[in-house]
Amino acid sequence: MSEIHLDPRIEFSEWLHKKLVAEYAKETEAWARERVGRVTARLNRERPRRPALNVEILWITPCTAFTLPGRHIYFSRRLLERLPTDDAAAFVIAHEIAHHDCGHFTLFAGWADRLPRSRAAGYVASVVRAAEHHAQSPERENEADLYALELCLKAGYDGDLAVQALEILENATLDAGDYDGVFGPENLLDPTDPDAGSVSSRIQRWIWQRSRGYVPLRERRERLQTWLKASGGRTSR
């Protein structure tokens, strides 16, 4: 009998999924489950040659969404309840779908199989943060944003309402006191600074982006709004 080798990325993802669901998947309200269900199904229909993904609603403190290798996307209830339309929810889910469809987890197999398993909730949360950061970079996040917007348009969602999800995230980020996350590093925002645009400031910005894993939210939103205007709200895919 031939030996069966499991992909460590998927094996780890399923282990983590069980832990997260057991600890945080406490959703009881029908509107939340129904919204996530119909939006996810609509997006999955536009990617028929790829494995369907499912979304779990987690009652966690951060206003966020994330995904890992495997077939699961995690959407915090705090973020979901702030989004006024299915279109905005679709963008958040589509962004996480993009990390799968764009191959952003390719390098994850190199260390997923070496992670120890633990029942401690604090440990699980730390692993999620480490794994998410490992899959992020400014380039990958920008690619995921554009892919997500195009997928939303293919599924028939309104592009402007979809991009509003980033505005909601801006507000949540500001509420948390993270002004840099919205506008970028404060020391690089002054247009009257004689060093603005210099090699030094560009290097500092590059370092900041890689430490964060993404560009500022305001810049992300404005980039997508510019793309929408130039494309007339039409997808090229």
Say how many C-beta atoms besides its own lie within 10 A of residue 5's C-beta: 6
pLDDT band at 191 (very low <50, low <70, confident <90, very high): low
pLDDT over 70 at 154, yes or no: yes
Residue 69: what pLDDT? 82
Contact between residue 54 and residue 21 where contact means Cβ atoms under 8 Å apart = no
Three-class secondary structure of residue 9 per DSSP: helix
Residue 2: what pLDDT? 37
Compute the distance between CA of residue 53 and CA of residue 6 in angstroms, rounded to an integer.
19
Instruction: State the residue for tokens 């070496």.
Output: 114
The residue ranges of every structural domain in the chain are: 8-231
Please provide the average confidence, as pLDDT, over all residues in the chain.
81
Per-residue model confidence as pLDDT tens digits over 105-116: 776 555 555 555
Q: Alpha carbon of 39 to those of 88, 218, 221: distances in Å?
A: 10, 25, 21
pLDDT band at 165 (very low <50, low <70, confident <90, very high): very high
Q: What is the pTM of this model?
A: 0.80
Contact between residue 13 and residue 127 where contact means Cβ atoms under 8 Å apart = no
Q: What is the mean pLDDT of residues 125-132?
A: 54
Upper half-sphere CA count for residue 91 (Cβ side, 13 Å):
25
22 exposed, middle or buried (CB, 10 Å; 0-12, 13-18, 19+)? exposed
